[in-house]
């Protein structure tokens, strides 16, 4: 497992090529187990497509479905999180889908 460290990360986020480990500010219930850290795997095209199909065009619902899939939780579990912890999930997701090496097309 290789840790990705091209940019300064917040102390609550650890990124690897496989995903992110996120330390929550407040322990929360995920699948009826109280946790203070969650693991988010890197998304696949299939994950995004399925969340888009299941959301019926609702962008907020799409994000909840996608994040629930990636952390293996129910969308109700995510809905019960504090805004700070949900923001940490969002930030981690966007770091996972960001390309660390910008594409440059040679002529």
Which pLDDT score, from 0 to 100, does residue 99 have?
74
Query: Considering the entire predicted model, what is its pTM?
Result: 0.84
Domain ranges of the chain: 23-97
- Residues linked to residue 3 through DSSP beta bridges, in sequence order: 16
Confidence of residue 60 (pLDDT cuts 50, 70, 90): very high
b/e per residue 23-48 (b: at least 16 CB within 10 A): ebeeebebeeeebeebbbeebeeebe
Q: Are 51 and 62 in contact (CB under 8 A)?
A: yes
Query: Which residues, 6 or more positions from 57, have their beta carbon under 8 angstroms from its beta carbon?
Result: none
Dihedral of alpha carbons 49, 6, 104, 106, sign = negative
């Amino acid at each position: 497992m290789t840790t990705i460290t091209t940019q300064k990360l917040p102390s609550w986020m650890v990124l690897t090529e496989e995903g992110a480990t996120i330390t929550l500010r407040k322990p929360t219930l995920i699948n009826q187990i109280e946790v203070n850290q969650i693991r988010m795997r890197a998304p696949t095209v299939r994950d995004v497509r399925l969340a888009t199909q299941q959301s019926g065009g609702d962008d907020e619902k799409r994000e909840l479905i996608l994040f629930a899939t990636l952390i293996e939780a129910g969308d109700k579990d995510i809905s019960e999180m504090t805004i700070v912890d949900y923001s940490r999930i969002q930030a981690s997701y966007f770091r996972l889908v960001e390309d660390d090496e910008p594409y440059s097309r040679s002529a």
